[in-house]
Structure 1
C-alpha cells in the first residue's frame, strides 16, 4: 500500500498559519488598550499616560495615577498631596499646588518635600521652580529681610518664618529648627514679602513628566513599573 504524501503546498500553508498565530499572540501584549479620556472637575481631559483610580485596568500607566476627590484632580507625589490645576500634553507638564496651600490661607504644606527625592525621581522633575522653607524659632530673628514672619502660625513664645528660594538650612541660628519645605514657582524677586510668597505658593509649580525614565541607564525600577513610550512600545526596544 502506498503511503499518502503531504503536498508541499499544504505544508507551506500550515507553516505560514502557525507563524501568523504565534506572531499574533506575541504581539497582542503590545497592543494599546483602547481607552476614552477621563475628566475630573476643571481637568476636562485626563489621557495617556495618566489614569484615574476609577479607570479600567490597562488605561494609562499606574505610576501616573490620579484621583478625583470632591470634583478636584489630585496627584500624590512623594507622599505629598497636590491639586492638579492644568495638564499640558504638548509640553508634558503638570501645574500642581500643595493641598494645604491651594486656597491661599495661612497653613503649612501638606507634607515636607525632600530635595533629594525630587532630584532622584525617575518620572517627574521640577521646571522653573525653587523651594520655600518654613522654620520655627524660640526667639526673634535679626535678619527680617530673608526670613519673613508668618503671623498666623506664630505665638506662645514660638515664631514661624518662611524663606523663599533657599533650601539649604545648615546656617540656621541655634534657636531655630526646620519644619517643612514645598516646591514653589520661581520668580527673580529678592526677599519677597510674606504675602508675595503666599501668592507664589498658591500659584503652584510645574512638573515635567517622562514616560520612560530621566536616568539614561533605565534603572530596574523603571522596568518593573512597566513603563512604555507613548506608542506603548516596550522600553527594551529602544536599547537594541
Structure 2
C-alpha cells in the first residue's frame, strides 16, 4: 500500500514542480488573467511560450510589447478561442500600424484589408470610418474596405495612403484583435486544465496538467 501511495504521489509532485511560480496572475484587480502561453515578466520563463511575455506598467495596466517596440494595452485574453484583445494607451492605434510586422511573431491578424484614404474634403457618412487621430483641419483620413467600390474614392478629393489587414474597429474604436495557433492549448482550457511545457529538453512541446486551482473566470 505504501508503494502504491508513493507512485500516485510522484505525478502530483511533478506537476507541482512544472507549474511552480506559474499560477494565474494579473496586474490589477479586474485586469486580464495571465497564464500560459502568456506570462508576466517577473515570472519564470517556463511559465510562458516564447513571444508571449506581458508586463505591468506603473498604472497597473497589462502591456504587450510587439516587435519594433510597439506597446499595446491588454483588454482581454480569450484562451479558449486563442485571441488577445488590445488597445492603444496613446489613443491612436492606426498611427502604430506601419511599425507592426507579424512575419516572425506567433500572434497573427486575419481580416479583410482596409485602405486608408487622405481626403482634402470630408466624405459623406457611407461605407467608411473616420480616423480622427490621423486627421487635421487641412485633410481627413478615412478607412474603407479595399473591395468596397474603392475606385469611387480614389478620384479627387482622396488619395490612397496604405492598405492594412485589420478590422474596421481598429480604426474607429482604437482596438486590435490578434490570434495564435501555436501553442495549441484550446483543449486544455475546455477541460479546465493547465497547459505548459512537456519537459526542459523539448521546451517547445506542450501538454496539459491538472490545474492547481480552478478559476471560473480564467478564460478572460
- The two structures have a TM-score, normalised by structure 2, of 0.56
Question: Per-residue deviation at 1:108?
Answer: 5.8
Match of 1:145 in 2: 126
Gaps of 5+ in 2: 1-13, 185-194, 207-220
Structure 2 counterparts to residues 225-240 of structure 1, below 5 A: 230-233=195-198, 234=202
- Structure 2 residue 38 is the aligned partner of structure 1 residue 38: no
Structure 1, residues 194-216: CA drift from partner, whole Å, max 9, x if none? xxx63xx24x3432223349xxx
In structure 1, distance between residues paired with 2:25 and 2:181? 20
Match of 2:141 in 1: 161
1:93 aligned to which of 83, 98, 106: 83
Question: Per-residue deviation at 1:141?
Answer: 6.7
Question: Per-residue deviation at 1:84?
Answer: 1.0
Q: Could you say if the C-alpha distance between residues 62 and 130 of structure 1 is closer, same or farther in structure 2, counting changes exceeding 3 Å?
A: same
Could you say what secondary structure the match of 1:46 adopts? coil
Larger displacement relative to structure 2 (145-154 or 74-83): 145-154
1:126 aligned to which of 109, 131, 141: 109
- Structure 2 residue 182 is the aligned partner of structure 1 residue 211: yes
Determine which structure has more spread, i.e. the larger CA radius of gyration: 1
Matched length: 170
* RMSD, aligned CA: 4.2
1:109 aligned to which of 94, 102, 118: 94
Question: Per-residue deviation at 1:111?
Answer: 0.5
- The two structures have a TM-score, normalised by structure 1, of 0.52
Structure 2 counterparts to residues 57-96 of structure 1, below 5 A: 57-69=45-57, 70-79=59-68, 80-96=70-86
In structure 1, distance between residues paired with 2:55 and 2:122? 41
Question: Per-residue deviation at 1:136?
Answer: 2.7
